[in-house]
Chains A and B, each alone.
Chain A
Amino acid sequence: MKANPKDVLTGTYYIDGDVACGYGALAAGCKFVAGYPITPSTEAFEAMCRRGPQVGAVFIQMEDELGSMAAVIGAAWSGVKSMTITSGPGYSLMQENIGFGAMVETPFVLLNIQRGGPSTGVPTKTGQADMMQSRWGSHGDYEIIAIAPESPQEMFDYAIKAFNLAEKYRCPVMIMSDECVGHMTEKVVIPEADKIEVEPRRLFKGPAAEYAPYKPDPDLVPKMAKAGDGLKLYITGLVHDERGYPVKNEDYKAAYVRRLIDKIKRNKDKIIEIREEAVDDADVVVVSYGISSRVAIKGVEIARENGIKVGTLRLVTVWPFPDERITELARKVKAFVVPEINYGQIVFDVARCSHGHANVVLVPHGGAGVHNPNDIADAIEYAAKEKKKIQGVVEHKTRLEKLVFEGGYKLKE
């Protein structure tokens, strides 16, 4: 299905990532936004509020993030594409209903403009420390899809993709962006509506008596429905059978939760998007995502000038994780270098998939800023020269980290 021309602001713009994401969501057919203002994500919500009336989208500023997430799921069940926008502290509050959304298989999109944490942290500056929260944040077993755009153009493009994936797999999709990408202003080209592919809702069409909200199609994804169609839906966060009726026994629990996980895992190849460059004859591969992948470009350049064979692998979708591809590369390369704006999150998944074949080097960053490309270059150089196989993750001491340690965890002003 093509996008509705009314929803698409075709043209070339100079806008920031937040706004681009808002325009992308509306182009994808998003008709309901509930949110609670939080720095640094407000521009996206504001942009959507301004554009909303022109495209027939409803937006409501809820009393908190708990309510926002609940309203987004409610709106999805009344038949519209819906989303919410937040950052760290708000993301924590949303976790309860993210789990509910995953449990009752509701398609919705969540934009998280990550900022420096923990807690209030540095609200106006960047971070990438919610990546594991996006995967494991709510209680219980479930799978979600997470995307990490690296530019305003991608914020537009992947907002559309996020909605498409949510509809296709009936699950929450997280756009795990960060303050840098959100507040970065660049050229964004919005194509014509007929160039934008939009996934329609997978609605059940047939006699009401035959509908079961959780009866899966062969790809393990059930058909969606909406309130007001006379289907007498029963939607509960309790473990339920195909009709939606609660069940407590072990078999049902296993079958249901297993399907929730497998509907993503088995469709992994269709979901995962990674970008590789010069990995074939590389000694070292830099694995990165979001803003860090843009900073890494410079680091890779410096390392190449010094004669090191470096390839790059960018995780466009971070979850589900490309396990097989990392394992395959681990057998060929000496080491992986993972720069991320946290003290180690995605790097542990790289290490898990490397199975000890390649060394894994983390280039950490505490947040409120991005890496110094020289640190990434140094880490690459170290990784290329290291002859020993090292168990676990090696933490590269960056210039900033050295300062921290030399100062006894106290920095001079």
Chain B
Amino acid sequence: MAEQKTTTGVVKPEIPEADVIHPMENLLRMDRMPHIWCSSCGIGIAVTAFTAALEKAKMDPNMVSIVSGIGCTGRVAGYVKLDSFHTTHGRPIAFGTGIRVANPNIKVVVFSGDGDLIAIGGNHFIHAARRNIDMLVVCVNNFIYAMTGGQVAPTTPLAAYATTSPYGCVEPPFNIPYLAESSGAVYVARWTALHVRRLTNSLAEALQKKGFSVVEVISPCAMYYSRINRLGDGLDMMRFYHDNVEIRHGEDTKNLDIGFQTKIICGKFVDRERPTYMERYSQWLTEVKGAKK
């Protein structure tokens, strides 16, 4: 077999192209590559972690529906080879509620961004959590509206710049894990795009969890967030996560605020049991129907 020199000088055997198979090919729509995300964006990492988690959790890909809203992360559904729904801005959780309630055999994963889920879709987020709809919500948080060019988000840290907060953000941001827990989520975790293995494990665990689970993924946006805030490139952001993330499992979600370039606390914060919407519904249905007989 012919040998080839790579840029790092390591000699590798040449593999015929037909044999090159992406390890995630069965879960990704390879015919849609290349994807639209910028280099050093964290969304791709979150997608890889998610597909790995699907395998790890031994989910039947035919029975998982992935729903996204609008935005950079909104494009995730379109790259994952499941039943994919790229819906309207802010509504993926409501759309997923329809899928799940009408067919409780389908596992629903909502994969969307902080603006989509917490700003325009905030109402659906808290109500799905309150009902404890059986779904996994992966919220990629890059602190900014990136698809539209870097406007301020409900997660933009105080004083951080965005194109619509040119003198620094004056609104306090949402603490997503705290919001999720207080609304009723049964599983709440936060990781960054640097913590690939922990994120994968967390997603696998959350996929198997019954009820409304939320995993927040802090992701670098080198194109908008870090550029306007002079934070360097994607690698600098990763370095920042490396140096400033503290893992504190079980931390009270009240303490998880994120300031501008402050310490980010990651970990699994909530893992509890509550009857899901469908459990309550079918129990109630049995009672009503039973009483009718």
Contacts and interface: CB of A to CB of B under 8 A. Distances in A.
* Same complex: yes
Interface of A: 31-32, 34, 53-54, 58, 60, 62-64, 66-68, 70-80, 82, 96-97, 100, 226-238, 245-246
Interface string B275-293: 0000001000100110010
Contacts of A70: 87-88, 91-92, 94-95, 97-98, 124
Nearest to A233: B83
Contacts of A80: 102-103
Interface in B18-38: 29, 31-32
B102 A228 contact: no
A243 B91 CA distance: 23
A234 B81 CA distance: 8
B155 interface: no
3 nearest CB pairs, A to B: A74-B98, A71-B98, A67-B94
A54 B61 CA distance: 33
B62 A229 contact: yes
B113 to A, nearest CB: 16
**Chain A residues touching B, majority SS:** mixed
Contacts of A68: 94
B57 interface: no
Contacts of A73: 87, 95, 98
A78 B103 contact: yes
B48 interface: no
Interface of B: 29, 31-32, 61-63, 65, 67, 77-78, 81-103, 105-106, 123-124, 127, 281, 285, 288-289, 292
15 contacts: A32-B98, A58-B281, A62-B127, A64-B123, A70-B95, A74-B67, A74-B85, A75-B102, A76-B98, A77-B85, A82-B102, A228-B103, A233-B85, A237-B87, A246-B78
Classify the interface of chain B: helix, strand, loop or mixed.
Answer: helix
Contact of B81 (A72, A232, A235, A236): A232
A167 B229 CA distance: 52
A245 B35 CA distance: 13
B12 to A, nearest CB: 33
Given A32-B98, A71-B95, 20 more contacts: A32-B101, A63-B123, A63-B124, A67-B123, A67-B124, A70-B91, A70-B94, A70-B98, A74-B96, A78-B98, A80-B102, A96-B88, A226-B103, A227-B103, A228-B62, A229-B62, A232-B61, A233-B83, A236-B77, A237-B86
B124 A228 contact: no
Contact of B97 (A62, A231, A238): A62
Contacts of B94: 62-63, 66-68, 70-71, 74
Contact of B101 (A60, A63, A233, A236): A60
B212 to A, nearest CB: 14
Contacts of A54: 289, 292
Contact of B98 (A66, A75, A100, A246): A75
Contact of B91 (A66, A227, A232, A245): A66
Given A31-B102, A71-B97, A227-B106, A100 B88 contact: yes
Contacts of A234: 29, 77-78, 84, 86
Contacts of A238: 86
Contacts of A230: 62
Contact of A74 (B82, B95, B285): B95
Contacts of B97: 34, 60, 62, 67, 70-71, 74
A97 B91 contact: yes
B87 A78 contact: no
Given A63-B127, A71-B94, A228-B63, A78 B84 contact: no
A170 B292 CA distance: 37
